[in-house]
A and B are shown apart, each in its own frame.
Chain A
Amino acid sequence: NAGVTQTPKFQVLKTGQSMTLQCAQDMNHEYMSWYRQDPGMGLRLIHYSVGAGITDQGEVPNGYNVSRSTTEDFPLRLLSAAPSQTSVYFCASSPGHNTGELFFGEGSRLTVL
């Protein structure tokens, strides 16, 4: 039972490079989201989606893009990486929007030099 799968687990980028963090879930959850975790800041919401074709901004969306073409996949794109985007990124899903707990992936550690 895979749950929420994130790739890659580790990535090092140079300033200005772009990349995509992949997230897939096999639980047929409608709601998916991306968080970043920084020391002393907890988990902050970047973008979220309440269903295929629908996305919206969270608390810290600048510098990131998302799309939701299928129920299963919710990729996060960094358009032009900056050192301030060095963080651990978590993808999460749930059956509905705040209708239960979030199921998290294992995280992707990104370093931007």
Chain B
Amino acid sequence: DQQVKQNSPSLSVQEGRISILNCDYTNSMFDYFLWYKKYPAEGPTFLISISSIKDKNEDGRFTVFLNKSAKHLSLHIVPSQPGDSAVYFCAASAYGQNFVFGPGTRLSVLP
């Protein structure tokens, strides 16, 4: 059973609008969460992280929200740009443990 779920395999958004990518987890011991972005034929690259002591972390156009009671986090991209088109992976870890990755969401930003 997957501990980290990304229930939307794909998402299409118009350029300039907001993209919202969702991630749910089942392990209540997870205390650190990351988002990675992956272009075709490249390795994943780190985008943004959040620790369980926070409920929001912002970095430029990217904001991650964490709702611990719902075991849910989301990545907001505002405004979306065509260069944001990629696969986005959510990852989580419990202290001292390895990261567990979700299956990914493919974002397409349409010009």
- A residues touching B (Cβ–Cβ < 8 Å)? 4, 33, 35, 40-45, 48, 58, 90, 92, 97-98, 101-107
Contacts and interface: CB of A to CB of B under 8 A. Distances in A.
Contacts of A101: 34, 46, 49
Contacts, number: 54
B54 to A, nearest CB: 16
Nearest to B5: A42
A44 B99 contact: no
Nearest to B47: A101
B45 interface: yes
B28 interface: no
A98 B99 contact: yes
14 contacts: A42-B4, A42-B101, A42-B102, A43-B44, A44-B101, A48-B98, A98-B32, A98-B95, A98-B99, A102-B99, A105-B43, A107-B41, A107-B42, A107-B43
A104 B45 CA distance: 7
A interface, over-half SS: strand
Given A58-B98, A98-B98, A42 B44 contact: no
Given A42-B103, A42-B104, A102 B32 contact: no
Contacts of B104: 42
Given A98-B32, A98-B95, A101-B34, A43 B89 contact: yes
